Structure 1
């Protein structure tokens, strides 16, 4: 029978930190403090102290949703039956969402026979076996959710007050910088402001946005990202001025000296995607800072921009956005004629770039990629037959067998220790011999405990490896099954297996596959 583990869950988010002083509002919410409270509770509970434990820590994640990596890992182990009890400092550490947290406590955990303990809330689900602690738990969860909502409303209200006064509350646009020693005020940036003014003058003079971007790149002018030092380390392509960057500057009303705020908002607390608001809802305060262009220059520059036809957007999920330039790293753009063509936009903004050699027909590109995908599936199918169909030893099962054997030895040593004491009391063993044998037993017991702890650590590692292995086995099986599909079916699903297609010219490309693991090449060169 699988040994159940005790799951210790810890969480800390920005909600618990005083932003002004960067210190905890409640010191007991700190990760270290949570750990001490829980460990003390476990040590004082004989039924919990004997359980092997795993710790899960989400540091820096909000409790208003369940999108937390360690929480999801813990719940996966709960579903696999390896966790028998979860313990937290209080219910808010598990979650502040009233409905979602309540669903786990009232339905999911009882169904899976998982005990849940919230120490500071004096809640232990074992007290409610056969009944429900519904009203008490629900009321506490509702309070925690209302706390987050109230905090969000207060922050939003304070931000709106600053917006109404013409203060910037997010970031300074390119061309401006923070005023030294003054919060929420900005002044012209002596380096970037002349660039913004030059962009407006070029636009008014009739230059196209692509021509302006090319001029800036030829002159080696740093992009807004480079100027502010916000280039991401995971960015595949080098920063470069583009027509979109130029248009964003021309259309930004802030350069006239007006502050424009509240252009978008979060639909829910800590939503990952903001929604755009209608212009009628924007907060605009004129003469908030020094202008870089006049209102007349702003109107003239925007009058030269092409006015696109506004049609109702129908967002479609595209799975074929995997084609990238092998020289600059940018995603290839699409153009249309008798066929769809893929090329690199860098050639519009830089002269004599090798990116100009890329111009593939979408039809020709997919033919090449499809043949490579078939060969890839053949390799995966063969790998599946060789390695996964044949039964292998289960290292996780062997590890658990070893743990049981060590535990049995430990129990046997307790019996030996008792027997030694009885022999000593009966006078069959001298005191020196008793002490010597007892010391040897204690040393052996300590060695076995250390070995048992190592086996438990190995078990945790093997559990993670088994989950990864199962995912790989399933991927290989699906690949093997796909060998019977038609070309059209394979063309539709091949993008799900491709991480990216790196194109160097019209004769050379490289395919990077999503599935890896050492059993086949992660890249295919053509």
Structure 2
């Protein structure tokens, strides 16, 4: 009676890591040779060899593995030959399920050439050997997964880019695949998205604008550049259009200010391909690791707006003061109400007035004593306040005083930098001394008592230096922030000293919040408080 046999072979990167490229004993070609030779010696008819190349032994979605199992249930063969059990699977669950379970139930003989596993002659001892191989292979995969994860985390912490494809707006450096450089074409699109958003455009309005100008979205841009874009079978014509969620992801991505942000997703386990999103506090962020496309000030302004969740009007535009005005009486937001202008006693169809009204009072007239304010009046008040600030800060005496203070501060900062450098060098010398001390002890040049005594002295001096370093770094950071804030104030005053009109971008840059009080119509007075961003 002719016995019908099939073979199964597999190779993956995990096996390359274990065996090394110099030893091709695990190669697919070698496995096929051994399987054919073994079948021929046994006198079995080998009808096919199923082969999965570049698939892990724990992967349950291996195409040829699953075809083998399907054909097994169809009783297309009687024997399965593998070079070793690990070629079939490196997962104890798969081994128990099939080799010690299903194959025996379906009367399928499983044979390995080098492990000498044969289910036709399986006894308690040989089963334990098979299970032991399965356990050690499972442990190996688990250890390998942890080691790879640790290595990748080290790379992430160093700010090395480890993803397969670059973020939209960047390219991988031709000199270093772990470093990003700016893609001038895509970067310009990213900048325009931020500019449009700060100008008051909603996400969908920005997406529509880009689609109307036939600007390729990130997916189409990748495809046109020859990059891998995933399963094409799931692509539709809509896949290559800009959408509001795509715009949102670009606006929320800290990578665009030059910070390397990685570790957002993590595999459930080494056995699964499923990725789960990690909490933001567990992301690995390395600051200033590649050229920024967006400056930090712009990023912070966009982030602030995104957190406020301000929605655009029906036309897709965000009002100039949206989310920035609160009632001084009840502290609730004030909403813009637009109505037609009266021209010659008739309502205009083309010209409109806008008034801001307390949202609480709009729900219940008796709930708040606030009175509305027109957009024109509020805009004029803010511009007048800016001009007053300009007059104050451009007083020659005040400017001279500020320059004197700034100069002295710069000298202090330089001194702090030098002290920081000295303390860091001291800590490095301390670490070197501890290492040298330990080596002297090992060599027998130092007694245990002397070693302990000097070690304690070095540890104490190290703690003092580390504490001093932290203090200097905190003080320097605080002084730098003050100086930066002062320079920013002067820059803003220079920029807007002759301003005549406001827009959404200017409001976002200058104003944190505006509190509008009720109007005293008898005195024609109203309290307005502005919390500036500078």
- Which category of TM-score, normalised to the shorter sequence, fits these structures? 0.5 to 0.7
2:72 aligned with 1:78, yes or no?
yes
Q: Which residue of 2 aligns with 1:247?
A: 248
Quote how far apart the aligned CAs of 1:115 are. 1.4
Tell me whether 1:149 sits opposite 2:142 in the alignment: yes
Q: Does 1:266 align with 2:267?
A: yes
1:128-167 superposed matches below 5 A: 128=122, 131=124, 133-167=126-160
Distance 1:308 1:297, change over 3 A: closer
Distance 2:185 2:47 in 1: 57
1:485-496 to structure 2, matched below 5 A, reads: none
Q: CA deviation at 1:128?
A: 2.2
Residue number in structure 2 paired with 1:31: 28
How far apart are the structure 2 equivalents of 1:25 and 1:153? 25
Q: Name the CA shift for 1:149/1:25 in 2 (closer, same or farther; >3 Å).
A: farther
Question: Match of 1:121, SS?
Answer: coil
Residue-pair matches, total: 302
Correspondence for 1:210 among 204, 227, 247: 204
CA contact (8 A) 1:178 1:184 kept: yes
Contact 1:56 1:74 in 2 (8 A): yes
1:197 is aligned to 2:185: no
Query: Does 54-63 or 134-143 show the bigger shift?
Result: 54-63
- Give ranges in structure 1 of 5+ residues lacking alignment: 310-526
1:16 is aligned to: 15
- 8 A contact 1:85–1:114 mirrored in 2: yes
Q: Determine if contact 2:35/2:83 at 8 Å carries over to the other structure.
A: yes
Question: What's the TM-score once normalised by structure 2's chain length?
Answer: 0.53
Question: For residues 123 and 51 of structure 1, do their structure 2 counterparts lie closer, same or farther at Cα, with a shift above 3 Å needed?
Answer: same
> What residue ranges of structure 2 are gaps of 5+ in the alignment?
311-534
Contact 1:257 1:288 in 2 (8 A): yes
Q: Indicate the SS of the match to 1:177.
A: strand
Q: CA deviation at 1:160?
A: 0.6
Which residue is equivalent to 1:316? none
| Equivalent residues of 1:264, 1:277 under 8 A apart | yes
Secondary structure at 1:305 match in 2 = helix
Looking at structure 2, the residues matched to 215 and 110 of structure 1 have their Cα atoms a distance apart, in angstroms, of: 64
User: What is the aligned partner in structure 1 of residue 6 from structure 2?
Assistant: 7
TM-score calculated relative to the size of structure 1: 0.54
What is the CA-CA distance between 1:249 and the residue it aligns to?
0.4
**Where do 1:115-514 residues align within 5 Å?**
115-128=109-122, 131=124, 133-170=126-163, 171-229=165-223, 230=227, 231=229, 233-234=232-233, 235-237=235-237, 239-269=240-270, 271-305=272-306
Confirm or deny: 8 A CA contact 2:5 2:44 kept in the other structure. Answer: no
Deviation at 1:134, TM superposition (A): 2.1
Measure, in 1, the Cα distance between the counterparts of 2:50 and 2:308.
Answer: 53
In structure 1, what is the equivalent of residue 40 of structure 2?
A: 43
Verify the 8 A CA contact 1:4 1:81 in the aligned structure 2. Answer: no
SS at match of 1:225: helix
- Contact (CA 8 Å) 1:13, 1:61: kept in 2 or not? yes
Structure 1: how far apart are the matches of 2:85 and 2:20?
22
> What is the rounded CA distance, in whole Å, between the counterparts of 2:149 and 2:44 in structure 1?
48
Match of 1:109 in 2: 103
Higher mean alpha-carbon deviation, 34-43 vs 287-296, is at 287-296
CA contact (8 A) 2:5 2:39 kept: no
State the shift of 1:283 in Å: 0.9
Query: Residue 306 of structure 2: SS of its match in structure 1?
Result: coil
For residue 83 of structure 1, give the secondary structure of its aligned residue in structure 2: coil
SS at match of 1:133: helix
Deviation of the 1:141 alpha carbon: 1.0
Q: Larger radius of gyration, structure 1 or 2?
A: 2
Classify the secondary structure of the residue corresponding to 2:191: helix
Structure 1 position 51, deviation (Å): 3.2
Q: Cα deviations across residues 84-126 of structure 1 (Å, max 9, x unaligned)?
A: 2111010011100012212322222223222111111122222
